[in-house]
């Protein structure tokens, strides 16, 4: 029934597992260093209020958390996930299609009675499935280390943030996939997806400095900030609807385009 | 359209690229004709050979037939179904091997064929027969196989479901002579015994001559000829070697050239001439009766010579 999904899930387990394990490993490393490096980490956390830092690594909305272990984990793990997510959401969805276009294996696959849209959707499903490991590994390593160290933590915040991160990867991945269906080949697809997603990231991270605050809502990176989740007690519904709508819109457009377009190299 | 026509191509035109024309002047872009007004049909159970040199439009035509490329105009039906509208239905019964074939490198041959068989179930008995004939190790990863062995995997994948219609783009390119011979035997058997229709392109004229029932020759995107292979050889070109009794009474080269069916004349030695004749030999025989002919040998040209006649 979903052979393309299950086969690709099995075949790409290594690439799917390494980034989330890296994030979990990072959280555990911070936790291990926490007792001896607590002051240093908290100093760094305090520095993060600086608008220049926010512009470079993105504003995660940590202000509402205070200076504690949980905030430190969010700063390091969340910051790392933001950067990993930036690359994962550009490279993986584009490569789902463009690597096959580059190798010209699409011809033989599409000669079988599979609707093109379904083929692409099942492959995108693999991307979404492995991306579920990011929030899972992040949340479990954060909660686990907090429990071991006897530090306070907010389960609702962690789970909501993690799920929001997954939704963000869905939205960004759909944009990248749409770029891949337009261009097919890796070079142009990566350039287009990279330009759109990195511009979106910069719009959010540097928008404040550049006086583009009114335009920041156009960037998906602007949503699901920690202070917003804390305020609403959950993922803000409007932001969830926006990100899902953008992701869904681009995904449907990508599937439609791939189904109708010419497969030329 | 013939009632047992499996593939019907009518006036297929494919143009690559786009042009921006304003007031009759081209402002931007460039267009290249991939195929122009290509028409032919392939009937049930026949092996149709598609001939042409590189860039003639063979792959463009095949990929247009399979709806990978959007055609500018024309109509293509396979099993009587529209190639675009009924794309999925048609693919349930088609085996395709692209010329520029690439397979998933991290799959083994077995995994790949098993994966594809989920979409078009394989004929297990025939698959076993194919494995015996193509001696490629299907347990090896595709990336470790040579080009020839990869093509064998591709052929097995295309044939494994024993589809009613096979579209093969230069199927034997890269295969060794033994595997090529095996492939020819399988293809002939499928066509003769199972009435499976095969549409293949090739550079190898000897191959086409050996296995095909009909042949289409494409030149610069235009189908210049569709003919039965046997008829083609007799109808289009024959070679004639004529030897005369003595040198005192010989026809001149101009006398030969005056005959409309004679394409070329070469004097081999003092007594003999070699001629290339198209279609009718009656006028030539009439001329020869006036001279003392010692020996006359008439033979069909090879497909290669016919092909060169079009491409020279």
Q: How far apart are CA B307 and CA B227, in angstroms?
A: 12
Q: Encoding tokens for residue B83?
A: 């190639």
Q: How far apart are the first and last CA of chain B?
A: 33
- Closest to B227 measured CA to CA, from B240, B203, B239, B209: B209
Q: How far apart are CA B19 and CA B46, in angstroms?
A: 40
Does A9 lie at the interface with B, CB-CB under 8 angstroms? no
Cβ–Cβ below 8 Å for B68 and A104: no
- The model carries a pTM of 0.87
Residue A43 main-chain phi, psi, to 5 deg: -60, -45
| DSSP-assigned letters across all residues of B168-212 | EESTTTT--HHHHHHHHHHHHHHHHHH--EEEEEES-HHHHHHH-
Half-sphere exposure of A108 (CA within 13 A, CB side): 28
- Give chain B's mean pLDDT: 89
Q: How far apart, in Å, are the Cα atoms of B278 and each of B76, B166, B168, B303? A: 33, 34, 32, 14
CB B79 within 8 A of CB B167: no
Residue in chain B closest to A263 (alpha carbons) equals B68
Could you tell me which residues are beta bridge partners of residue B41?
Answer: B8
Angle between helix B147-159 and helix B109-117 axes, rounded to 10 deg: 20
CB A81 within 8 A of CB A70: no
Residue with tokens 């004749």: B277
pLDDT in tens, B273-294: 999 887 778 888 999 999 999 9
Q: How far apart are CA B228 and CA B49, in angstroms?
A: 10
Q: How far apart are CA A167 and CA A155, in angstroms?
A: 18
Q: Encoding tokens for residue A166?
A: 């997954």
Q: Pairing relation of β-strands B262-267 and B272-277?
A: antiparallel
Residue in chain B closest to A117 (alpha carbons) equals B88
Residues in chain A with CB shorter than 8 Å from the CB of B69 are: 262-264
Q: How far apart are CA A219 and CA A246, in angstroms?
A: 11
Residue in chain B closest to A119 (alpha carbons) equals B119
pLDDT score, position B1:
43
- Closest to A130 measured CA to CA, from A14, A247, A251: A14
CA distance A105 to chain B (A): 5
Q: Pairing relation of β-strands B25-29 and B272-277?
A: unpaired
Residues in chain A with CB shorter than 8 Å from the CB of B159 are: none
What is the band of A67 on the pLDDT scale with cuts at 50, 70, 90?
A: confident
Q: How far apart are CA A253 and CA A174, in angstroms?
A: 9
H or E stretch including B74? strand B73-78
pLDDT in tens, B23-68: 778 777 788 999 999 999 999 999 999 998 888 999 999 999 999 9
What is the band of B3 on the pLDDT scale with cuts at 50, 70, 90?
A: low
pLDDT in tens, B174-184: 888 988 999 99
pLDDT in tens, A151-173: 999 999 999 999 999 999 999 99
CA distance B156 to chain A (A): 12
Does A264 lie at the interface with B, CB-CB under 8 angstroms? yes
pLDDT of residue A204 exceeding 90, the answer is no
Could you tell me which residues are beta bridge partners of residue B29?
Answer: B19
Q: Pairing relation of β-strands B25-29 and B19-22?
A: antiparallel
Interface of B with A (CB under 8 A): 16, 63, 66, 68-70, 88-89, 91-92, 94-98, 100-107, 115-116, 118-120, 154, 157
What ipTM was predicted for this assembly?
0.85
* Count of pairs with CB atoms under 8 A, one residue in A, one in B: 61
């Amino acid at each position: 029934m979903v052979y393309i999904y299950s086969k690709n899930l099995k075949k790409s387990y290594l690439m799917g597992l390494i980034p989330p394990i890296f994030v979990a490993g990072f959280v555990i490393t911070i936790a291990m260093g926490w007792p001896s490096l607590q002051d240093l980490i908290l100093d760094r956390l305090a520095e993060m209020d600086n608008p220049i830092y926010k512009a470079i690594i993105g504003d995660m909305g940590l202000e509402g958390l205070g200076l504690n272990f949980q905030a430190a984990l969010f700063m390091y793990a969340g910051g790392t996930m933001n950067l990993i997510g930036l690359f994962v959401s550009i490279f993986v969805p584009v490569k789902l299609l463009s690597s096959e276009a580059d190798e010209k294996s699409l011809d033989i696959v599409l000669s079988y009675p599979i609707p093109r849209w379904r083929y692409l959707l099942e492959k995108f499903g693999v991307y979404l499935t492995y991306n579920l490991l990011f929030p899972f590994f992040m949340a479990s390593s954060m909660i686990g280390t907090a429990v071991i160290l006897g530090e306070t933590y907010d389960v609702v915040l962690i789970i909501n943030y993690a799920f929001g991160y997954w939704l963000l990867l869905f939205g960004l991945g759909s944009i990248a996939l749409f770029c891949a269906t337009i261009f097919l080949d890796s070079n142009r697809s990566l350039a287009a997806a990279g330009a759109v997603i990195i511009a979106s990231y910069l719009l959010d991270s540097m928008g404040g400095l550049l006086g583009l605050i009114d335009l920041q809502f156009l960037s998906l990176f602007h949503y699901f900030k920690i202070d917003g989740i804390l305020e609403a007690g959950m993922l803000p519904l409007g932001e969830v609807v926006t990100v899902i709508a953008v992701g869904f819109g681009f995904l449907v457009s990508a599937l439609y385009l791939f189904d109708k377009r010419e497969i030329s190299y | 359209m013939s009632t047992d026509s499996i593939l019907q191509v009518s006036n297929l035109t494919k143009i690559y690229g786009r042009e921006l024309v304003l007031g009759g002047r081209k402002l931007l872009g460039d267009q290249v004709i991939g195929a122009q007004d290509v028409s032919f049909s392939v009937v049930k159970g026949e092996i149709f050979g598609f001939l042409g040199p590189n860039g003639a439009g063979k792959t463009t035509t095949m990929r247009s037939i399979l709806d990978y490329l959007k055609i500018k105009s024309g109509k293509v039906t396979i099993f009587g179904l529209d190639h675009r509208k009924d794309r999925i239905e048609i693919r349930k019964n088609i085996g395709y091997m692209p010329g520029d074939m690439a397979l998933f490198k991290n799959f083994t041959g077995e995994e790949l064929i098993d994966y594809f068989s989920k979409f078009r179930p394989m004929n297990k008995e025939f698959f076993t027969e194919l494995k015996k004939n193509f001696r490629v190790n299907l347990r090896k990863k595709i990336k470790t196989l040579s080009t020839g062995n990869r093509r064998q995997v591709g052929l097995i994948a295309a044939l494994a479901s024993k589809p009613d219609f096979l579209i093969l783009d230069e199927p034997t390119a890269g295969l060794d002579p033994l595997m090529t011979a095996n492939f020819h035997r399988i293809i002939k058997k499928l066509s003769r015994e199972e009435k499976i229709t095969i549409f293949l392109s090739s550079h190898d004229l000897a191959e086409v001559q050996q296995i095909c029932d009909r042949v289409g020759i494409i030149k610069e995107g235009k189908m210049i000829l569709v003919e039965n292979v046997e008829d083609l050889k007799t109808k289009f070109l024959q070679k004639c070697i004529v030897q005369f009794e003595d040198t005192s009474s010989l026809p001149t080269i101009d006398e030969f050239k005056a005959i409309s069916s004679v394409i070329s004349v070469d004097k081999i030695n003092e007594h003999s001439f070699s001629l290339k004749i198209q279609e009718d030999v009656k006028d030539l025989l009439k001329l020869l009766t006036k001279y003392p002919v010692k020996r006359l040998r008439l033979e069909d040209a090879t497909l290669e010579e016919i092909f060169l006649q079009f491409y020279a």
